[in-house]
Chain A
Amino acid sequence: MATGSDMPLLLLAILAKVGVVLLVLLTTVAYAVWLERKVVARIQSRWGPYLVGPHGLLQPVADAVKIFFKEDIVPTEVDRIIYWLAPFLAFSLALLSISVIPFGESLTIGGATIHFQITDLNVGLLFVFAVTSLGVYGVALAGWSSNSKYPLLGGLRSSAQMISYELSLGLGVVGVVMLAGSLSLREIVEHQRGLWNVFVQPVGFLIYFTAAVAETNRVPFDLPEGESELVGGFHTEYSSFKFAMFFMAEYANIVTVSCLATLLFFGGWLGPVFGPSLLRGLLPIFWFCLKVFCFLFLYIWIRGTLPRFRYDQLMAFGWRFLLPLGLLNVLVTSLILAWRSV
């Protein structure tokens, strides 16, 4: 527990970390959009953004400027308070779960040690699930408050989908928690120094990743917001800045899920480390970012390749296949662990 004298310094350090992490996250979100447009374009044999800046790298800036200047259309019959609340709720919850994600080990400069994590809760993994559970409200309230057919249908379907796949998301991770013996994200990564969890829990990884794609409402599970099915889904009646918030919230969720997948299954920041101590401190961050980038690319690759599930297929898959598979995975893992410890 910090003593009274270094409380302000501690607070300042935390605020600085929060600022840096948020800046990096928002830039990542902006360029994830660029990456998606480029990769999907290449998959479809075309160029993608090319004119604004070299290879379209300034496209996110142009898009941000455009969004700010767009007219904000608010339909007359909406429930005003909730109509305004929903996108802010979705966006702030999407940013909240980054606070327990560790990016690397610690770095000691001079006398001060920087831990590359805003806070290390010993129920860190459950905190991320808590934030994910609350994220359903952004979607449901947006759909309802718009007071219109398509958003309501999209919102109800989307929230039902999200709560169904939350179960499988949790079950896929139980095996990892049993192996590491802790819910703290840093300890789970430390446990993988010998062997990455993906080799020990392959089924768990597949369950987790499938459920995560469904949770973030991405292809092939994006019927509730698919353009050709439900006009725009739950964000039909939103324009300009509020729509941008939903958009950013979705990509921030994708980044969070990718970070979690690397931490839980692919060894987080573990990788070859060499050189002077400054390099030793920064190389883990590089490995972490590289792995997260691979997951982002995987997400976008899946989006460009697979067709969409129908809604009843989607729900049947979540309840009738993924959930029993998750339970089976937990059963087998616990049996093996119990047998080994006897």
Chain B
Amino acid sequence: MAPLFYIFAALAILAALSVVLQRTPVYSALSLIVVLCSLAVVYLLLGAEFLAVIQVIIYAGAIMVLFVLVIMLLNARQETPTDRSRLARWLGAPLLLVFLGELLFAVWERFPSASTRAAAAPDAGPRAVGALLFRSYVLPFEVTSILILVAVLGAVVLAKKRL
């Protein structure tokens, strides 16, 4: 079980590097889909089976389809590198590594490797998640449904050629 986590974690990191470094937007989008699917496998390994499938259906299967269709519609070409700031280019990568190192150090200190985790995974099937969602969290649920309605209306109005 544990080696599978490391395999898919490595795949996720490689695909994320590909998202950031690829010149063509379509390849970035496909790499992002690989990241999403490997994260879904990681969720499954961590016991969150319902969320793993939801991640694939909604994130990889609907949101990323939207991205890919917009890229195709707008015919996004390869991007030309900019040379606005030489300082950013030379200072950027080291600063990023420092930032990551700081966060990793903070995480390592707070949760040392030997810390124990809950013995049994909570039952994260659809029934348990649904029970929690519709009892304790019913207000955020209703609010997000209104949010989605607003988003749909907004997207239609913004993308229309003529109202």
B50 in the interface (beta carbon within 8 A):
yes
Q: Are A126 and B57 in contact (CB under 8 A)?
A: yes
One of A32-40, A127-135, A275-283 at the interface: A127-135
Q: Are B68 and A137 in contact (CB under 8 A)?
A: yes
Cα of A122 to Cα of B53 in the assembled complex, Å: 11
Q: Are B53 and A123 in contact (CB under 8 A)?
A: yes
Cα of A156 to Cα of B69 in the assembled complex, Å: 7
Mark contacts of A237-259 with chain B using CB atoms, 8 A cut-off: 1 yes-contact digit, 0 otherwise. Answer: 00000000000000000000000
Least CB distance from B11 to A in Å reads 16
Cα of A140 to Cα of B72 in the assembled complex, Å: 9
One of B59-67, B80-88, B101-109, B141-149 at the interface: B59-67
B126 in the interface (beta carbon within 8 A):
yes
Q: Of A134, A141, A155, A156, which contacts B61 at CB under 8 A?
A: A134
Q: Are B69 and A183 in contact (CB under 8 A)?
A: no
| A133, A140, A155 pick with most chain B CB within 10 angstroms | A133
Q: Are A133 and B26 in contact (CB under 8 A)?
A: no
Residue of A nearest to B61 (CB): A133
Interface bracket on A = 20 to 34
A82 in the interface (beta carbon within 8 A):
yes
Residue of A nearest to B55 (CB): A130
* Also in contact, A134 and B126, with CB within 8 A (given A152-B72, A156-B69, A163-B65): no
* Also in contact, A133 and B72, with CB within 8 A (given A122-B125, A123-B50, A123-B125): no
Q: Are B49 and A163 in contact (CB under 8 A)?
A: no
Cα of A329 to Cα of B73 in the assembled complex, Å: 35
B33 in the interface (beta carbon within 8 A):
yes
Least CB distance from A171 to B in Å reads 14
Least CB distance from A178 to B in Å reads 11
By a CB distance below 8 angstroms, the chain A residues around B60 are: 133-134
* Also in contact, A144 and B26, with CB within 8 A (given A123-B53, A130-B56, A183-B126): yes
**Which residues of A in the span 95-140 have a Cβ within 8 Å of any Cβ on B?**
121-123, 126-127, 129-130, 133-134, 136-137, 140
Least CB distance from A85 to B in Å reads 8
Cα of A155 to Cα of B50 in the assembled complex, Å: 31
Q: Are A133 and B62 in contact (CB under 8 A)?
A: yes
A229 in the interface (beta carbon within 8 A):
no
Q: Are A130 and B57 in contact (CB under 8 A)?
A: yes
Q: List 8 A-B contacts (CB under 8 A).
A: A121-B49, A122-B125, A126-B126, A130-B53, A133-B56, A133-B57, A141-B68, A159-B69
With A129-B57, A137-B33, A159-B65 known, 16 other A-B pairs at CB within 8 A are A121-B49, A122-B125, A123-B50, A126-B57, A126-B126, A130-B53, A130-B61, A133-B56, A133-B60, A133-B61, A133-B62, A134-B56, A140-B72, A144-B26, A159-B69, A160-B69
